[in-house]
Structure 1
């Protein structure tokens, strides 16, 4: 399967806002928060890779601001667990450990399972229509052998279900979890391990929602995320020595 590393990835919650909303944001949000969001977007797009140094002068020059809001922004990102400050090295994009990756996937499986149960209990037609669009995009990506397109459609698929739960606390936690895991996944978007199994699992999840099978959907979501985590850990920490191909 092909990988198009230059293609910019967007997280569902970081897509551009209408111009009017953007102007309102600029007026109402502290400058440091806007700088933080710009740095975060750069990290999520892979412009800053895990282990790479982020310097205040570089960011300040790029954004046309002083170093003060950049310093505040980097502190916020450190609290979010996306960067870390090291003596004599400065601020670096964090690299997840084996344990942290496993823990985050376990947490994500709980969140996805809850959201899947809620989605199936409600079987909202608008959500189902949106998920069908995501499935079509993933099917097309498989046919085109485009890992990046598949991965992005997959991100949106899961976010649609979590967001539909209406639980803002869960949405906030889920964003943080996926953003951290995203940095690890960016290193492995050239692989397509288990992608055929993955797409079958997505179709089964949508069928469970259509049929209002809450228990089944909850179990499917949990096992799907667990399997994805195991595949990623195998690639990250053991190496991929198998002939079978899998999804990121």
Structure 2
């Protein structure tokens, strides 16, 4: 008498399908992009605590993709995780920021030289389009639009080097400067930056590596100087303000 194999009463645990994994990873990337936009745009301030549940509700997703997005944002240098405290937007000290500006200036000098040697006519046209849009934002006094275009312009210069390792390293450094770069934008500085952008693109289009590299270097160092001046001004203003708490205590004991 033959027997047939019995069917197992309990099936093996189902493994996540490839599609489910892709969907989960894609959602985390979308969440990362949106949180990054909020940080770079100033909606989430330097030093602010990021809460999974609040961001999940705001973005209409579960907490899993937000948690994965935090991990990716930490790798890119935009947030930091503190044990038993949570996740925070990175708060870069002024001394560290000034060092990053110097390193970025040297890297941008390479970008300018490289593009002056490899740029194509369509790419020059694209860069000029960015400059035109930034000048329009400057005339309108629209710092938010200018900031967004400025980030895209510099990132596009970076992409055109076709050096993926360089690009990844550079982007992480630039992310750490996001708050300082946003604070530097005034009507006066936007006009100055726009002139510098125009000169940079002109030198790249002229196929002049020395001029393009030097203009890129000086552009970043000018931003470094504005950052230092703004920081010193804010420190002076804070020191000049009366100590409200001390004043109240003195009034109570008078």
TM-score range relative to shorter protein? 0.7 to 0.9
Asked if 1:175 is matched to 2:176, the reply is: no
TM-score by length of 1: 0.74
- What does the per-residue CA deviation read over 1:34-53, in whole Å, with 9 as the maximum and x for residues that have no partner? 54344333322333211211
Indicate the larger mover: 84-93 or 113-122. 84-93
Alpha-carbon contact 1:95-1:184 (below 8 Å) kept: no
Q: After the TM superposition, which of the residue ranges 62-71 and 156-165 deviates more from structure 2?
A: 62-71
- Cα displacement (A) at 1:83: 1.9
Give the Cα separation in 2 of the matches to 1:70 and 1:179. Answer: 19
Structure-2 residue corresponding to 1:142: 138
1:165 alignment partner in structure 2: 161
Give the Å deviation of 1:195: 3.5
1:9 corresponding residue in structure 2: none
Structure 1: distance between partners of 2:205 and 2:184 = 33
Q: Does 1:98 align with 2:94?
A: yes
Find the counterpart in structure 2 of residue 121 from structure 1. 117
Verify the 8 A CA contact 2:45 2:89 in the aligned structure 1.
yes
State the alpha-carbon separation in 2 of the partners of residues 120 and 173 from structure 1: 21
Query: For 1:130-171, what per-residue CA distance to the aligned partner results, in whole angstroms no more than 9, with x for missing partners?
Result: 121122112222322333333333223222222111111122
Largest Rg, 1 or 2: 2
RMSD: 2.9
How many equivalent pairs are there? 218
SS in 2 for 1:92: strand
For the residue of structure 2 that corresponds to 1:102, the secondary structure is helix
Tell me which residue corresponds to 2:207.
212
Structure number with greater CO (CA < 8 Å, separation at least 6) is 1
Q: Does 1:57 align with 2:21?
A: no
Q: TM-score, normalised by structure 2?
A: 0.73
The answer for the alignment partner of 2:234 in structure 1 is 239
- The answer to whether residue 177 in structure 2 is matched with residue 184 in structure 1 is no
2:78 is equivalent to residue 82 of structure 1: yes
Q: Give the aligned partner of residue 224 of structure 1.
A: 219
Establish whether residue 197 from structure 1 lines up as the match of residue 179 from structure 2: no
2:184–2:226 CA contact under 8 A, matched in 1: no
Question: Which residue number in structure 1 is paired with residue 3 of structure 2?
Answer: none
Please list every run of 5 or more consecutive structure 2 residues that lacks an aligned counterpart in the other structure: 1-18, 237-254
* Preserved contact between residue 127 and residue 161 of structure 1 (Cα < 8 Å): no
